[in-house]
Structure 1
Amino acid sequence: MLSLIEKIKSGALWSFPGGVHPAENKAQSVSESLSRASIPQQIILPVKQHIGKPGTITVEVGEKVLKGQALTKYDTSFMLPVHAPTSGTVVAIEPRTTAHPSGLSETCIVIEPDFADTWLERETWPDFEQRTPDELIEKIRQAGVSGMGGAGFPTAKKIQSGLARTEILIINAAECEPYITADDVLMREHADEIIKGIEIVEHILKPKLTVIGIEDNKPEAVKALQQAAEDKDIIIRVIPTKYPSGGEKQLIKILTNKEVPNGGIPADIGILVQNVGSLQAIKRAVCDGEALVERVVTLTGDTFQQPRNVWTLIGTQVQALLDEFGYQADKRLPRLIMGGPMMGFTLPHSQVPITKTSNCILAPTRKEISPNQYEMACIRCGQCAEACPASLLPQQLVWHAKAEEFDKCEELNIKDCIECGACAFVCPSEIPLVQYYRQAKAEIRTRKEEAEAAERARIRFEEKKARLERDKAQRENRFKKAAEDRRKEMKTSGEDDAIAAAIARVKAQKSAQASEEKEVKPAVAAAIARAKAKQAAAQEQGQSEPDNSEMAKLREERKRQARERKAEKSQQPEASSSDEKKDAVAAAIARAKARKAEQAESPSDDKPVSDKKDAVAAAIARAKARKAEQTKTEPEADTHKTALNRTIRRKLLLPLLSQGLKLVRLSRQKQSLKLTLHKTALNRKIRRKLPLPLLSQELKLVKQQKNNKNNLRRKSSGLLYCQLTPCA
């Protein structure tokens, strides 16, 4: 069995599933040779013109730049610099509308050319064979070369991914999109530069076989490549014209019969694919030292006087090209399409700049390309599935995309869609399938980025939490170690015994206080119980006032306990001022007791005035003694006394007071109720037995009697007042 390389050399070709055959419309733009567009009045350079991240801007407003000068710098392999297409002055760095289907604005560097077109000093490497692959890859990256026939993947990163594992190098020269002839004309007029670029890539990758795949509708380009590749180990393979044979995966299938795995890249199966425009840019970057500042753009459509291909500076506004090359817009339906009719998109306005991936400006008339019809319901004909070159299910994909069921879109491998537009081309319902797929892909990408950001935040949070816990554990260990060291030092120095003795004294004091409280509380509870029992007995016997002798005894007991505590306190040494006060209080108490004893011994016929004076003096002495005791009694005794008084008031006095109020309120309600019932019964009896005149007369008599009673009550109250008032 022949090996794959032998089959390819023998001329074997394969085919991919699906595909369509739209009208080519390429002849009108290849009749003219390549020309060069003039330098525009203003250049708008988007900072991001490739797949990946934008670079960091290194220029400022007002700064003068030279042609080929880098305006941004890169930090990773997925970043590419952008270069000044001509010399001039940076006049603005601001958001502008760029060449993207969304029509959104992106950061752009605006340059006002000086029309001198002065180049920066260039470093040429004509002897690239003497350079290492890493040096050549870095040179390509510095020049800002990206894929110029597709999505704009960084060329240096793509070549780097194929190092040491590329067996077959495929050159994509198919250019299957209708109307576009940029690569066709480039191969006709610059075939030598393309072959030189192939040799540079071969020097880097060292593949076993190099194959150029070109469609059979480009005979002049095939002839030019054959002449340039003469005596070169390069195979030029002409393939049948079918859209989209220029797709990377489809061209690999045609030339090698291999399929790129789902979610993989061609380098995974030992294949690397490069576009002819990228190879020509590689040659100019390595051998001539020129950055990627211009590209070939196809200007086509019946609204141009003469469709053609032109060298255009990157950053040139579309309007400048339209003005220069005889564009006459359709008055009824002016349209500008960036790209071809299958994969292109309509521009929001003509001020959009040309980028590295802009290969065509299509300006058709309304007869040339009919406007989009209204979307109709899917009839489930299945033609989209038959035309899909990636063997997907477009019908189900669009259903899930409309329903925003993006997880199911991923299950159906929506990322394998190359957005070729074959499904929309054959759809009889005019459903813009590719538009739905682009929106779904963008949403999936956004959600993945958000999920990755959330995962990174979660990891940072967990790391921070672990760090804090680790620091806490370290602090606790340090504290424990320090405590152990202190205990060891105290044991050795004898301080531990003193601390233990102090702790023991504190515990003894607390236990003594607790025992005192325990002794007092049962006595109080017993007294309260006795008081309640006597109160209940008094209520049963009908006594209006309960016997408070027990409460008096309880108060005397509290006073005795307070005096004992005071005596205990007085035994301890205190300041001289407090001793004098205590002595004075004790003397006053002694004098009061002596006076009381004298009064008890004296005969009962003493003068009442002297008895009153003695009683007043004794009361004053007792009040002073009580006040002194209160000021010097411990806070604990005051607290205990206050709590005991509150308990007695809450459990004895308050219930009695509330009960008395209830009885008074109830008696009043009964009296008012009896009076109301009596009046109601009387009125009913009167209404029932007396006629109306008699009723009115009776009512008058009742009112008169009531007034007489009131007058009598007033007279009696006045007489009582006179009796109680003393005569003057």
Structure 2
Amino acid sequence: MNSIIERIKQHRLWDFPGGVFPREEKRLSNQFEISEVSLPSVFYIPLKQHIGVEGGLQVAVGDKVLKGQPLTHSSNPFAVPVHAPTSGEITAIKEHVSAQPSGQPELTIELTPDGLEKWTDLSPVQQYKELPKAEVVEKICQAGISGMGGAGFPTHIKLSTEKKVKYLIINGVECEPYITSDDRLMREHSWQIRQGIDVLVHLLEPECVFIAIENNKPEAIQAMQVACQEEEKYIICEVPTKYPAGGEKQLIQVLTGQEIPKGKLPVDLGIMMQNVGTCFAVADAIFAGKPLVQRVVTLTGRALEQPKNVWALLGTPVEHLLNEAGYSPKKQKQQRIVMGGPMMGFTIASPLVPVVKITNCLLAPTEKEMPTPGQEMACIRCGACADACPAGLLPQQLYWHAKAGELDKLQEFNLFDCIECGACAFVCPSNIPLVHYYRQSKADVRINEEQKQKSDKSKARFNARKDRLEREKEERELKRQQSAQAREKLVETEKQKQAEIVASASEAKVEAQIAAKAEDKNSKVAAAIARAKAKREAAQNDSTSETPAKVEEAPADTPNAEEDDKKAKIAAAIARAKAKREAAQNDSTSETPAKVEEAPADTANAEENDKKAKIAAAIARAKAKREAAQAQIQEPAQAQIQEPVQQEVQSEPSSSPSSETLLTLPASPQQDEDPEEARRKRVEAAIAKAKARKAERENEQAKSDKPNSGEQ
């Protein structure tokens, strides 16, 4: 760093390759102070006047605005607002011819001035060092400041870098042969430029500041030396006159000897560059609170009566400024106005093109001064263009590939390193507008890149969709496999269950066979019970229909036939005893006491007691046999037979005291038996009672038949 400073102080600078030396015409306009111009009848204010994107609209048609009032707002980091250049009314917002080589229409605000020049409220910041740096940068952004040296890059983006800045270069070279706007600005407003540099130094904190001025501007050099004499690290650098020494990369190479590598920016090497016009605008925004609404524009060319530099309000039509300078179309073979210098400028499409933030010169040359380009001829491969190129490119090869539309080849030959200085076209003997080809090819490459990006995005979306479909297909297949596995597992589980059921069934079959044998035995018992039940039901039916003889028809082939026979005998004995009692009662009621007296009382009682004893013994034997048989009968079978028997017992009349006495005799000694035993006894008593009634009827029938036989 010290060696660089020492070389600069000794005026030993570096050089860049190529370059040309066009004839200078600066004295046409730099002899007069910057003047004011009258207001035009209408302002055309494009929404975009810089590199980046346009801001968002803040006004509508019919709105009244004040001078300095924002017309758009910064909705994007690369958007800076535009402001009203004067007070007036918004009369239209529509497409208007732009300040570009193509003249392509852009969205533009039309403002009709009211002539009052009334400012909006301003907010200057005197003690800017006490504010956070971000707030100062934001104020510069809201003032609408962008690079005013020709590129138009948003200033606040440059100032927001986090990289260390070693050298801050203030560009006052102004190498175009006709432009003198920066020259007059440094002469007349060097102190305000110094204030702007102070703000930039506060924000960037560089180690050294180089103020580069071409050596053909001695008055500007002297003015800046006076303004910066109190600051040791502000070094005024006299740059040799050579075009294009004012180019960013070329000026860095001249001052530091460093070349900016391809794909790198100056800040990557610790270098930052700002134009003197930008410094003036920064000072105006911070110390006066004024947004960027005007700039110095050089009006020059021998077709003007009064070439000069003027304060042109942004949005002023070119036609109005030319009239202020006394434009004479007769001095031109054909009307031609160049915006910018003769080397890098372009012919405007209409005199209604407005002045924008990057407009630094309007040139109206005569035919002698700037002849109309002749007819384009074939390239003779002289190589003069390569010798003149300050970027070290091969303009001839770029020309061939541009003409053939070989965009890939153009990029291989570093098309975008071209600074469009026009040095190659200036020296071309074939009058080939090389810069025109390069500009068109750059636009084609950008369009192709945009289409490629869109195609890549579309391809990415297609691949993403394809991947998604494949993924969904795999997920469905996985689910199908999982479902199949689940089904197989379920089938296997069912098979296991069936096997277990079969195994348990085989075990149960063995148990069932054992139980079947027992059930077969029980079924025989149940069948006997059913037959007995049928017999009883038949006996009951005979009892109600007074046909007791049918009871004897019960089959004797059952397992209990012997028992039934004994019961029948007992029932017959009971019936005979009952018949005798009834006969005795009948004799006493029919006044035949003599027959009763014939039988001694003790003999009758003895005979009766003997019969009771036999009956009790027979009942006991029958009871024992029944208990043995009933032990094999299951409980449900007992319940089935007990119910009809109990009904029979309940339905039996109690008119025979003797039978009741006989039926209850066996139960008298067993009063402590359980309820089940008592129920069985009642059933037995009911059966005996039914049989006794049958026997009684038979005896009554026999008795009624006996006297008839005696009478005979």
Q: Secondary structure at the match of 1:341?
A: coil
Question: Which residue does the alignment assign to 1:372?
Answer: 373
Kept in 2: contact 1:333–1:365 (CA 8 A): no
Kept in 1: contact 2:152–2:358 (CA 8 A): yes
Question: Which residue does the alignment assign to 2:591?
Answer: none
After TM superposition, list the pairs within 5 Å mapping 1:422-437 onto structure 2: 422-437=423-438
Kept in 2: contact 1:175–1:181 (CA 8 A): yes
Letter in 1 for 2:356: T
1:463–1:175 Cα change, 3 Å = same
Q: Which of the pair has more CA radius of gyration?
A: 2
Question: Which residue does the alignment assign to 1:164?
Answer: 163
Q: Offset of 1:294 from its aligned partner? A: 0.6
Kept in 2: contact 1:213–1:236 (CA 8 A): yes
Q: Offset of 1:7 from its aligned partner? A: 3.8
Letter in 2 for 1:228: A
Question: Which residue does the alignment assign to 1:345?
Answer: 346
Q: Offset of 1:102 from its aligned partner? A: 1.2
Q: Offset of 1:64 from its aligned partner? A: 2.0
For residues 407 and 371 of structure 1, the distance between their equivalents in structure 2, rounded to whole angstroms, comes to: 33
For residues 273 and 124 of structure 1, the distance between their equivalents in structure 2, rounded to whole angstroms, comes to: 25
1:475–1:9 Cα change, 3 Å = farther
Q: Secondary structure at the match of 2:125?
A: coil
1:287–1:368 Cα change, 3 Å = same
Question: Which residue does the alignment assign to 1:209?
Answer: 208
Kept in 1: contact 2:150–2:360 (CA 8 A): no
For residues 341 and 58 of structure 2, the distance between their equivalents in structure 1, rounded to whole angstroms, comes to: 35
Q: Secondary structure at the match of 2:28?
A: helix
1:34–1:450 Cα change, 3 Å = same
Question: Which residue does the alignment assign to 2:310?
Answer: 310
Question: Which residue does the alignment assign to 1:332?
Answer: 333
Q: Which moved more, 1:9-18 or 1:80-89?
A: 9-18
Q: Offset of 1:395 from its aligned partner? A: 1.0
Question: Which residue does the alignment assign to 2:235?
Answer: 235
For residues 410 and 491 of structure 1, the distance between their equivalents in structure 2, rounded to whole angstroms, comes to: 69
After TM superposition, list the pairs within 5 Å mapping 1:155-554 onto structure 2: 155-161=155-161, 163-232=162-231, 233-330=233-330, 332-467=333-468
Kept in 2: contact 1:164–1:205 (CA 8 A): no
1:392–1:129 Cα change, 3 Å = same
Q: Secondary structure at the match of 2:220?
A: helix
Q: C-alpha offsets along residues 578-602 of structure 1, whole Å, 9 cap, x if unaligned?
A: xxxxxxxxxxxxxxxxxxxxxxxxx
Letter in 1 for 2:401: H
Q: C-alpha offsets along residues 507-549 of structure 1, whole Å, 9 cap, x if unaligned?
A: xxxxxxxxxxxxxxxxxxxxxxxxxxxxxxxxxxxxxxxxxxx
Kept in 1: contact 2:54–2:80 (CA 8 A): yes
After TM superposition, list the pairs within 5 Å mapping 1:9-28 onto structure 2: 9-28=9-28
Question: Which residue does the alignment assign to 2:136?
Answer: 136
For residues 447 and 107 of structure 1, the distance between their equivalents in structure 2, rounded to whole angstroms, comes to: 25
Q: Offset of 1:486 from its aligned partner? A: 9.7
For residues 260 and 410 of structure 1, the distance between their equivalents in structure 2, rounded to whole angstroms, comes to: 18
Paired residues in the alignment total: 496
Q: Secondary structure at the match of 1:203?
A: helix
Q: C-alpha offsets along residues 64-123 of structure 1, whole Å, 9 cap, x if unaligned?
A: 222222222223322221111112222211111111011211111111112222222222
Kept in 2: contact 1:132–1:204 (CA 8 A): no
RMSD: 2.4
Q: C-alpha offsets along residues 273-307 of structure 1, whole Å, 9 cap, x if unaligned?
A: 11000111111122222111111001111121110
For residues 475 and 286 of structure 2, the distance between their equivalents in structure 1, rounded to whole angstroms, comes to: 58
For residues 71 and 493 of structure 1, the distance between their equivalents in structure 2, rounded to whole angstroms, comes to: 81
1:122–1:471 Cα change, 3 Å = farther
For residues 462 and 59 of structure 1, the distance between their equivalents in structure 2, rounded to whole angstroms, comes to: 44
Kept in 2: contact 1:176–1:242 (CA 8 A): yes
Kept in 1: contact 2:55–2:76 (CA 8 A): no
For residues 324 and 2 of structure 1, the distance between their equivalents in structure 2, rounded to whole angstroms, comes to: 49
Q: Secondary structure at the match of 1:164?
A: coil
Letter in 2 for 1:229: C
Kept in 2: contact 1:297–1:361 (CA 8 A): yes
Q: C-alpha offsets along residues 394-425 of structure 1, whole Å, 9 cap, x if unaligned?
A: 11111111111121111111111111111111
Q: Offset of 1:201 from its aligned partner? A: 0.8
Q: Secondary structure at the match of 1:226?
A: helix
For residues 449 and 481 of structure 2, the distance between their equivalents in structure 1, rounded to whole angstroms, comes to: 48
Q: Which moved more, 1:49-58 or 1:465-474?
A: 465-474
Letter in 2 for 1:316: T
TM-score (norm. length: structure 1): 0.65
Kept in 1: contact 2:11–2:238 (CA 8 A): no
Letter in 2 for 1:218: K
Q: Secondary structure at the match of 1:357?
A: coil
For residues 271 and 227 of structure 1, the distance between their equivalents in structure 2, rounded to whole angstroms, comes to: 25
Q: C-alpha offsets along residues 102-146 of structure 1, whole Å, 9 cap, x if unaligned?
A: 121111111111222222222211111112222222211111111
Q: Offset of 1:439 from its aligned partner? A: 0.6
Structure 2 unpaired stretches of 5+: 499-712
1:44 correspondence with 2:8: no
Structure 1 unpaired stretches of 5+: 498-728
Kept in 2: contact 1:12–1:255 (CA 8 A): no
1:469–1:289 Cα change, 3 Å = farther
